[in-house]
Amino acid sequence: MISQSAYAVEPWTLRESELNLDVLPQSESVFALSNGHIGWRGNLDEGEPHGLPGSYLNGVHELHPLPYAEAGYGYPESGQTVINVTNGKVMRLLVNDEPFDVRYGKLRSHERVLDLRTGLLRRVCEWSSPAGCTVRVTSTRLVSFAQRAIAAVAYEVEPLDSDVRIVVQSELVANEQLPRKSGGDPRVAAALENVLIPEEHFADDMRLRLVHRTERSGLRVGSAADHVVHGPGTTATSSESGQNVARLTVTSELRRGERLRVEKLVSYGWSGVRSLPAVRDQVDAALAGARTKGWQGLVEQQREYLDGFWARADVEVDGDAEIQQAVRFALFHVLQAGARAEKRAIPAKGLTGSGYDGHTFWDGESFVLPVLTYTSPDSVAEALRWRQETLPAARDRARQLGLRGAAFPWRTIDGSECSAYWPAGTAAFHVNADIADAVVRYVAATGDEEFERETGVEILVETARLWHSLGHHDHHGTFHFDGVTGPDEYSAVADDNLYTNMMAQLNLRAAADVVERHTGQAAALGVDDEEAAAWRDAAEAVAIPFNADLGVHEQSAGFTGHQMWDFAATRPDQYPLLLNFPYFDLYRKQVIKQADLVLALYKRGDAFDLEQKARNFAYYERMTVRDSSLSACCQAVIAAEVGHLQLAYDYVGEAVLMDLADLESNTVDGLHIASLAGAWIALVAGFGGMRLRRGTLDFSPTLPEQLSRLAFVVQVRGRRLRVEITDSSVTYTLLEGSPLELCHCEEPFTLTSSAPQTRRLRPQPHRPEPEQPQGRRPVRRH
């Protein structure tokens, strides 16, 4: 666990003032830098000690067989695992004759600062070697938002007490040894070793290059580095390369007051089709592009990119400095995960670790894209274009399952299904509606018609076809989806999961609407009036399970009749339940891993009135154990809507601190990107009460008493809107763009850039606070 005091509470930075090796693995995730294309974990410059060395390229993976004790038809045969590619971060240092290693000698001070405005990770440390020679090492690292193939390090050494002989080895290292996998936690990645087959190595003067390929997935990965060295006259350089390492060695005699500075630019490139010369040229060209800017130019570009982002996306919180810091940290990592992913997936851990094998799930479309839609919309279009590109695999999967349209994978890197556990994977068809929902939201929030025509129609049509073939009308005409798995993974293969049904309904309606707007595209996809009418019929007849005796909706048909889980007999150390109880038992009882029906209350809020939301929320709250980090943020949103402000505030705290406090003890494997996105959702959709209704943003703001102000900026239809909530009122300001139609508590109004508008907050209903399962109440935030 990361202790509360690990990072100083500051509004724009994450500062670690001492090096605690016990939480080094976690801090490597927290300090990871990424642009969505390249990911560098926050490993120490010298490479060791480390928790998990990690350099990732979005999409670069290796295949491995998925063994089954009992095979079955349609089981995916091949697994995919993200691989640790060539490490370009490494800067080894020799001080006189001793390697700089924080485990030896004396570490006098050590500070790392992640600056959320500049996008730089800076480390300053003072170290005395076992022989007593003291040096100050300063390193600054970035992964460029502006140049997606580029990362860079500036590394400086200065002696503090006596003259010193310094050797810096700046390296590209492939096939690093990985720590052994421990325990049976299915969320941890399969460790694949020596997966990079050397193809070419090169070193000349300041330039280094390595090219490797993977055996099964057939990907070619190149990396190159170039350097600028500043040092006194005694400074000399040499370079060499071998199959798995290329190295620039810099030697220097430093007197007190002198410094050695090595600036290292690193480029990466990969391809499944390009030849060795082409990949070599690609990384050399990327490096040439970065050289024209140089280190300082890259630093300036980084700042410029982030200034633009924060102007569109910042969230200000008064009254809780910890949440203020954490929500900016969360937004920064969400941006890092998606900014330059460009037609690649956004993995559940971003590129911060190898957890979940680097797979992408529904997390992207359901949690991350909703945030990026209002803060960085271009990256949403790119992420959805990736889904479109994977449609051939999704169509094949649907055929294999005996269905029409396209069945997108539950977990994947390259677009094909690699979930080996079908009840949680294949049966979780809701991912298809989540993708459709992301398309609908993006188009409504941006008005991007070209995207709708070129990408949206095809995704909506193919997913609607899937739903229509998956469901059936019963003899009353009601449309059912039997045997599906909803978001809650403590239930599986159930009939009429309410979330799935309602999201499928949304998908079917949206497809029927879109084919009316884009008749040419629809005809090209073979959609006729009859097919679209059948989608509408199915949508209007979708089964919505409801228990009239209890007055609550059912998570799935018959769910409320199941035996209640014995929470009193469940010890705290038996959570997460999935590691301590058989799925067989979890599936047949009322116990919920993560918001499922409660998520439907948010995503399909139009289908419930406030009283229904309050009753449903209270009912499901009693059995939701939050063994998934995707839960707290959803609970925060509905708790805020139905008036449980303290509880909503507690859940905001949980979502936002998931990784900074390592609440699930697995931050080592990478950050929980969806939970971090959820921190924004909890504040903006929760306390901001923001909903998109028929293309118009509607706000019903409210604040818990601990917060005196919440302000956020969102982008909508090319405008920039600022919403500022205080304890009694809300002010809407149009920062940029033409007049905008908005709603405040469902009352429409027009906002112009010349006149901000202020409204009173809605009064809060008083309701008794619902209970959580024994021992699972969120930490009360004061």
Site of interaction with ligand BGC (CB under 6 A): 348, 356, 361-363, 487, 489, 593-594, 628, 630, 674
Which strand (E) or helix (H) includes residue 598?
A: helix 597-603
Closest separation in Å from C-beta 350 to ligand BGC: 11
Nearer residue to ligand BGC within complex by CB, 327 or 674: 674
The nearer residue to ligand BGC, 361 or 699, going by C-beta atoms, is 361
Q: Is 243 annotated as a binding residue?
A: no
- Smallest separation (angstroms) from ligand BGC to the CB of 487: 6
CB atoms within 10 A of CB 471: 23
Helices assigned H by DSSP within 421-456? 430-446, 449-451
Dist. CA 681–CA 353, nearest whole Å = 23
In Å, how far are 12, 482, 595, 679 from 441, measured between CA atoms?
30, 27, 21, 19
Count the neighbouring beta carbons within 10 Å of the beta carbon of residue 157: 26
CB 523 to ligand BGC: min, Å: 36
SS3 category, 302: helix
Nearer residue to ligand BGC within complex by CB, 226 or 365: 365
Q: Is 106 annotated as contributing to ligand binding?
A: no
Q: Where are the beta strands (DSSP E) in 294-358?
A: 315-318
Tell which phi-psi region holds residue 72, choosing left (phi > 0), alpha (psi between -120 and 50) or beta.
beta
Q: What is the DSSP letter of 547?
A: E
| Cβ at position 363, least distance to ligand BGC in Å | 5
Q: Which is nearer to ligand BGC, 40 or 356 (CB)?
A: 356
Min CB(380)–ligand BGC separation in Å: 18
Instruction: Read off the DSSP letter of residue 686.
Output: I
Q: Shortest approach of ligand BGC to residue 79 CB, angstroms?
A: 16
d(CA 579, CA 575): 7
Residue 356 or 559 with smaller CB distance to ligand BGC:
356
- What are the start-end ranges of the H helices in 456-588? 457-470, 498-517, 519-524, 529-540, 583-587
Give the separation between CA 379 and CA 358, rounded to whole angstroms: 19
Residue nearest to ligand BGC (CB): 361
Catalytic residue among 489, 554, 654, 724: 489
Closest separation in Å from C-beta 628 to ligand BGC: 4
Write the single-letter amino acid at 175.
N
593 is in an annotated binding site: yes
Cβ neighbourhood burial of 582 (10 Å; 0-12, 13-18, 19+): exposed
If the CB atoms of residues 362 and 442 are measured against ligand BGC, the closer one turns out to be 362
The DSSP code for 484 is B
CB 134 within 8 A of CB 228: no
| Euclidean distance between CA atoms 352 and 358, whole angstroms | 9
Which lies closer to ligand BGC via its Cβ, residue 175 or residue 594?
594
Q: How far is CA 82 from CA 353, 360, 415, in A?
A: 9, 11, 14
Query: CB 578: neighbour CB atoms within 10 A?
Result: 18
> Which of 651, 759, 754 shows the shortest CA–CA distance to 698?
759
Roughly what angle, to the nearest 10 degrees, separates helices 276-313 and 321-338? 150
- CB atoms closer than 10 angstroms to residue 75: 16
**Residue 594, marked binder:** yes
Chain position carrying tokens 């370009």 = 88
Residue type, 598: V
- Could you confirm whether 489 is annotated as catalytic? yes
Edge-to-edge strands of the sheet including 315-318? 315-318, 709-716, 719-726, 729-736, 757-760
Find the shortest distance in angstroms from Cβ 9 to ligand BGC.
27
Integer Cα distance of 268 and 500 in angstroms: 40
Enumerate the active-site residues: 489
